[in-house]
Structure 1
Amino acid sequence: MINSELYPVIFKRKSIRKFVKEPLEESIIKKLKGHISKLEPLFEHIKTEVAILGENEIGGIFSIKAPHYIAIYSEEKEGHLLNAGYLLQQLDLFLSKEGVGALWLGMGKPQENLDARNGLKYVITLAFGKADEEVHRNSISEYKRKELDEISSVEGAEKLIEAVRLAPSSTNNQPWYLEGTESEMIIYCKRLSFFKNIFFPLMKKFLPIDMGIALCHLKIAANNFGKEIKFKKEDKPSNKNYEYIITAHIK
């Protein structure tokens, strides 16, 4: 079970873009490694590996310089990007809980000899280190997010969906939409516009990762309120605006 101690962090976490150049204390790295060993996957059948990389092992355009990076590698199976987002967000929140800054690096790239690991392909990276700015938000009002009724029509589950609403996403796209009931939430992802399909092809990769992040927040919120939640891919229809992703069964 994902640690419900991460729940309060959802309401103050922020993306850090300025890092102190010195490495973190070894005690924090050791604690991080312990947390990595306990990560809960969304899909247990998909093999993954999480690696801590050094400051010179990640580059690429628009990359942020940090003393440390976490890269996730995965089998390329259906749902692997969803799974990667779900796993790595657990670490994003853990680092924030420990007072360590972190940032999702969509455009980051490992060195050529690090783009695969034990037969698994590189997916995406978190930069992390001591923040050279405020590591947490002071108020929920600092979030720039859609209103609840813009992302969900589910009634009676506002406390759970609020955690989804505050999830980070690429370019703050917030692609999620939830329908159904408080015991059976049907989760959709907004389809890319024609313009983004043409000019931002990487968004096709980022959207399922974003959705995995949102599912992680939903899981943590459910755990916090003593609810059991299971995600299941079912035969649900998509439409021209939204693609069906998964169903959350909650009790």
Structure 2
Amino acid sequence: MTGEITAAIKGSLRKSAKEVLEHTDELQKKLDNLVIEENNLKRKLTNDEIDDFFKHLEEVAERRKIVDGGLRGSKVLSTKQKEEILEYSKKYFDESENIEEKIQFAAAESTNDTGYMASFDITYINTDIMPGQLDTANSRLSWKAAIAHELEGHRRASLFNKTVNFPELSIEMNNLLEEIQASVRSSKYGQDLSEIERYDLMQDAIERFKNHKDIISESKYKNLTFEQLIAKLWI
């Protein structure tokens, strides 16, 4: 009986935590303005304390945002982060375009990756827009670099009918080349990026080239260097 009661309590807590996570924007605002008393002094919560609170909620809800082993971010995006992402993204759109229609943020329960959906001309943003914890270029990419990869890389290629799609190559090879092209293009043409961000994007392209030799070796480009390969792309 004790086990059943414990399970029921855990189930109730898990449900409550999930419901709270469906309203993260409202909760973020309340936490930002919350004043606590500590050692007879009043203060607001630090960013780390707020992050820890959301992390604990996710643990109680038994929800992982993006299951990638730390490759990219997995924390719920705050209202401020979303606003910054929208503001930066405007640099890649005409003034006549509705940015809030073109940039869609993931629902709290979503585990879908960030990515550009060419069929709808919509860029889907999830927690993995933020950098991860691994020692790879892809994991290091800042959120600005990741946005540039999607918008300058994938979206612009799609709009100009330059998405990689060589009929003689496999789906895997075309997808790999498309990712390499997007990283190289965003490294070169991304808006208002730092030298480090441009470097990381180029390194991301190089690491993809080096880490997927198994795919490249089965194509007609198997003997090409990185420089020779990207010369075949829309750069």
TM above 0.5: no
TM-score (norm 2): 0.28
**Larger strand proportion, structure 1 or 2?**
1
**Larger helix proportion, structure 1 or 2?**
2
Which structure exhibits the higher relative contact order, with contacts defined as CA atoms closer than 8 Å and separated by 6 or more residues?
Answer: 1
TM-score (norm 1): 0.27
Larger Rg: 2
